[in-house]
Amino acid sequence: MKVLVIGNGGREHALAWKLKESKSVDKIYMARGNGGTEDFCENLDIDPTDIEKLLAFAVENKIDLTVVGPEDPLCAGIVDAFNEKGLRVFGPNKACARFEKSKEFTKIFLEKYSIPTAKYKSFESYDHAEKGLEEFSYPLVVKADGLCFGKGVIICRDRDEAVDALEKIFKDKIFGDQGNTVVIEEFLTGEEASVLCLVSNNKLFPLERAKDHKQIFDGDKGPNTGGVGTYSPVSASPKLEKNLEKIYKQIEDGLNKEGLHYSGILFVGFMIEDDMPKVLEFNVRFGDPETEVLMPRLDVDLYELLNKTIDGKLERDDIRWKDETCLTVIMCSGGYPGSYEKGKLIEGLDKVDKDIIVFHNGTKKTDDLYTNGGRVLSITALGKNLEEARKKAYDNVERISFEGAYYRKDIGSK
């Protein structure tokens, strides 16, 4: 079987790496892939958002399964376009992808079906939003409504910071048209957790949880990023499990009542306090870096799992996990998530232990390997417990270098 994986980050690298294990998969194409995926895949010079070219390639090469990594092509309707040509593709259709395309759409859904979430209001102008701040206490959260590559959420400690955030989004247009609508939310306290759910014919099948570290500096300080480290599994009390299951059922009921047909991944971001979860956000694709710790722990054939999901035949027993902890530390370019330079020579990968998995987030290979993004490498380790996985990962991070390299020192330390 031939598989096409769309995307070029660590998430897509991890998916392709896991698909390669399948006895059913003979060939993997990546669009565009990165400096790490070309070692075992054929990288294609096709932009992940160029649906027309991707579709033409899939038809011409008789691709058996396409797996869509990033949100942009999903929100643009790539699944609908492939389905119209009778091609098998893993991911939600355009109607369901609105859960990521619009934070306002998600908040309306959550409120309509009584799913626990933060109090919010949405605004379409600076003046109305600035006045709306009076309805909230501090800290609060300002969110650009659209796709902002994980950077559209600003935590504001006082009114001055909130006004500044609104000015940057509405007046300075730092997120372009993705900030034409702004959602203001109450600030939730607790422990943040991510749950990726396979969704098969509107039925949710939660994968094991991962703990993501989003802020750039140690101690969860500094601006938000797309995620700079994570580990799995994350334990939960029986009370929390029961409350999570209730939310999954509410989501299923909501999908059915809205007449949606969801197939693919639903990423649910939670804030949990005293075993009471509230939904922070929905995303409609595999999380990054969560995928980098889930794929090494997954103890089944990913190709078969995705096909069962598409066919509406998935059962809970189809999903099994290794009894190990996995942790990944992301090495970033200096300056990320702000401005940073690309093209820095990466050295030391030949010194990494054989049982360490290095997923490439933003690299490019010519004669040598160079940085090509804000998040560069995910150094991933399996261990019998969190402490062992953490030690193995950090021991190997120290062997890798490039100019300006930065990484958090406290991933998995809590």
Domain with 218, as residue range(s), is: 191-318
d(CA 233, CA 124): 40
d(CA 320, CA 327): 18
Which residues on neighbouring strands pair with residue 282, listed in sequence order? 268
Same domain, 139 and 202: no
Residue 197 located in a structural domain: yes
Same domain, 83 and 155: no
Residue 380 located in a structural domain: yes
Q: Is the peptide bond before 206 cis (omega within 30 degrees of 0)?
A: no
Domain boundary, last residue among 284, 318, 352: 318
- The pLDDT, as a whole number, for residue 322 is 97
CATH number at residue 257: 3.30.470.20
Same domain, 269 and 378: no
Residue 105 located in a structural domain: no
211, exposed or middle or buried, with CB in 10 Å at 0-12, 13-18, 19+? buried
d(CA 350, CA 379): 13
Domain boundary, last residue among 265, 291, 318: 318
CA distances from 85 to 120, 285, 389 (A): 41, 22, 44
Structural domains counted in the chain: 4
Domain boundary, last residue among 318, 344, 373: 318
Residue 41 located in a structural domain: yes
Same domain, 67 and 20: yes
- The pLDDT, as a whole number, for residue 148 is 77
Residue 108 located in a structural domain: no
Q: Radius of gyration over alpha carbons of the chain, in Å? A: 21
CATH number at residue 357: 3.90.600.10
Same domain, 314 and 329: no
Q: One digit per residue, pLDDT tens: the chain, 414 residues?
A: 999 999 999 999 999 999 999 999 999 999 999 999 999 999 999 999 999 999 999 999 999 999 999 999 999 999 999 999 999 999 999 999 999 999 999 999 999 999 999 999 999 999 999 999 999 999 999 999 888 766 788 899 999 999 999 999 999 999 998 999 999 999 999 988 889 999 999 999 999 999 999 899 999 999 888 899 999 999 889 999 999 999 999 999 999 999 999 999 999 999 999 999 999 999 999 999 999 999 999 999 999 999 999 999 999 999 999 999 999 999 999 999 999 999 999 999 999 999 999 999 999 999 999 999 999 999 999 999 999 999 999 999 999 999 999 999 999 997
Single pTM value for the model: 0.93
Both tokens assigned to 227: 């995620």
Task: With H, G, I as helix, E, B as strand and everything else as coil, classify residue 222.
Answer: strand
H/E segment holding residue 383? strand 375-383
Same domain, 48 and 140: no
Q: Kindly give, in sequence order, each residue whose CB lies less than 8 Å from that of residue 239, ignoring residues fewer than 6 positions away.
A: 275
Same domain, 290 and 222: yes
Both tokens assigned to 145: 């409504």
Cα-Cα-Cα-Cα dihedral sign, residues 92, 196, 149, 177:
positive
- The pLDDT, as a whole number, for residue 150 is 65
Same domain, 310 and 209: yes
Same domain, 228 and 295: yes
CATH number at residue 136: 3.30.1490
Same domain, 216 and 175: no
Residue 398 located in a structural domain: yes
- The pLDDT, as a whole number, for residue 223 is 87
Residue 412 located in a structural domain: no
Residue 251 located in a structural domain: yes
Same domain, 221 and 310: yes
* Three-point CA angle 140, 141, 144, nearest 5°: 150
Closest-CA residue to 178 (of 211, 149, 157): 149
Same domain, 196 and 312: yes
